[in-house]
Structure 1
Amino acid sequence: MFTGIVTAIGSVTSVEDRGDLRAVISCPWDPAGIDIGASIACSGVCLTVVDRGGQEGDAWFAVDISAETVSRTAQDQWREGRRLNLEPALRMGDELGGHIVTGHVDAVGRIALRRDVGGSDRFEILAGKAIAPYVAEKGSITVDGVSLTVNEVHDEANGDVRFALNIIPHTGEVTTLGSLQEGDSVNLEIDVLARYLKRMQSLAG
């Protein structure tokens, strides 16, 4: 379980095709604090550490990524040089600063618009009809592993959903969101509470 509060930006330093992909990700952590078998959210994707090394402040960890995961995540995410938002799994007693995040990608969205508004960035993301019922104004959504609040929601004629977010300068600087451009793909995870509410609604109907 995660919170959507990014603690570091990492970078994919190598990718090896072993049937599944083996990716090595650099990070500014202490390798002694990265446990083999631990879960780390990598731009919103929960992955298991299978190896690690380096030194404090210049560490690395390795993860295996299945073909299923590759098919359900943002285009070109698993390539050398790609920067990733990193968050270790929530520990008992940690502050829940964002919202409850599972690290399971529900859909891939596309940045349809990016515009400067008063020093912050307004993003509009277009996503498929499958997640449209779960996106609500003032609700939570995870974008590339970052917990964000939805400002506006517009339903498209074809059933897709277009929603707006406001990215303050601090968030843009400490995550990869600040480098996103129109047309880029992003990993989306809907709020787990919205998922349960939709299920309850369907049973009540």
Structure 2
Amino acid sequence: MFTGLITDVGTLLSVEPRGDLRRLKIASHYPHDGLALGASVAHNGVCMTLVGFGPRSERDGYVSWHEVDAAAETLAVTTAGSWTPGDKINLERALKIGDELGGHLVSGHVDGVATLVSRRDFDEMAHFEIEAPKELAKFIAEKGSVALDGTSLTVNKVDKTRFTILLIPHTLDVTIWGGRKAGDRINLEVDTMARYAARLVEAAAE
């Protein structure tokens, strides 16, 4: 589980095709001695398992590298299939018992891919309009939570399949959202509570 609070922004170093999966190598600011094989790390909201890691000696600001495998299903239902070397990646390590839950509970299991329709900047903040896949729009509600590229965000307004969010300067600075623009595809995970609530309503009507 994750909180949707991004703890680092890494850079994708390489993409290596391996049959139906791709091995991704990412540089990060995480100390390598704090990483572990089999650990879970969210990459733009996609939970992936570390299969390799080590220190970096290059003077590029990053102190470690790690590798993960993106399976065929992940490549098909998330934006991972279009990632290329040089891309910036939102990173979050898995939640530990006792950690502060500052965002909302995020599973790292992306439900679908949304599209950024428009961006409006003002007072160092940014207002985004997002188009959600039709089948997921019913789980998105005003003042509710949503995870976009792994970032826990509050929904401002909803109009059918479109919704808006407002990002403060801090979020724009410490995530990849500062570079987001109209037309970008974004990993979307709906709030688990919203999914259960919708299912209860459906069950009551059956």
Q: TM-score higher than 0.5 here?
A: yes
Is the aligned partner of 1:62 residue 2:67? yes
Question: Would the aligned equivalents of 1:70 and 1:78 in 2 still touch at CA under 8 Å?
Answer: no
1:118: how far off?
3.3
Determine if the alignment matches structure 1 residue 79 to structure 2 residue 97. Answer: no
Q: Partner residue of 1:181?
A: 181
- Distance verdict in 2 for CA 1:65–1:75, change over 3 Å: closer
- Cα root mean square deviation, aligned: 1.3
Gaps spanning 5+ residues in structure 2: where? none
* 1:97 pairs with one of 92, 99, 102: 102
Equivalent residues of 2:41, 2:48 under 8 A apart: yes
* Residue type of the alignment partner of 1:122: H
Q: Which residue of 2 aligns with 1:35?
A: 36
> Quick one: which amino acid aligns to residue 33 of structure 2?
A
Structure 1 stretches lacking a partner, 5+ long: 156-160
- Tell me which moved more, 70-79 or 135-144: 70-79
User: Where does 1:21-170 land on structure 2 (aligned, <5 Å)?
Assistant: 21-55=22-56, 58-74=63-79, 77-155=82-160, 161-170=161-170
1:134 aligned counterpart, secondary structure: coil
| Contact 2:74–2:80 (8 Å) recurs in 1 | no
Q: Which amino acid aligns with 2:42?
A: A
- CA distance in structure 2 between the aligned counterparts of 1:25 and 1:98, rounded to whole angstroms: 24
Give the structure-1-normalised TM-score. Answer: 0.94
Q: Is the 8 A contact 2:75 2:81 kept in 1?
A: no
Q: Deviations over 1:9-39 (max 9, x none)?
A: 0111011001110011100111111110000
After superposition, the C-alpha distances for 1:148-185 in whole angstroms (9 at most, x for unaligned) are 00000001xxxxx1000001111001000110000011
Per the normalisation by structure 2, the TM-score is 0.94
Identity of aligned residues (%): 47
Does the CA-based 8 Å contact 1:143-1:188 persist in structure 2? Answer: yes
Q: CA deviation at 1:142?
A: 0.4
State the partner residue of 1:15: 15
Compute the displacement of 1:77 (Å). 4.3
**1:191 to 2:196 alignment:** no
* Residue 204 of structure 1: how far off its partner (Å): 1.1
Runs of 4+ off more than 3 Å: none
Question: 1-side partners of 2:145 and 2:138: how far apart?
Answer: 13
* Contact 2:47 2:107 (C-alpha < 8 Å) held by counterparts: yes
CA distance in 1, matches of 2:31, 2:64: 6
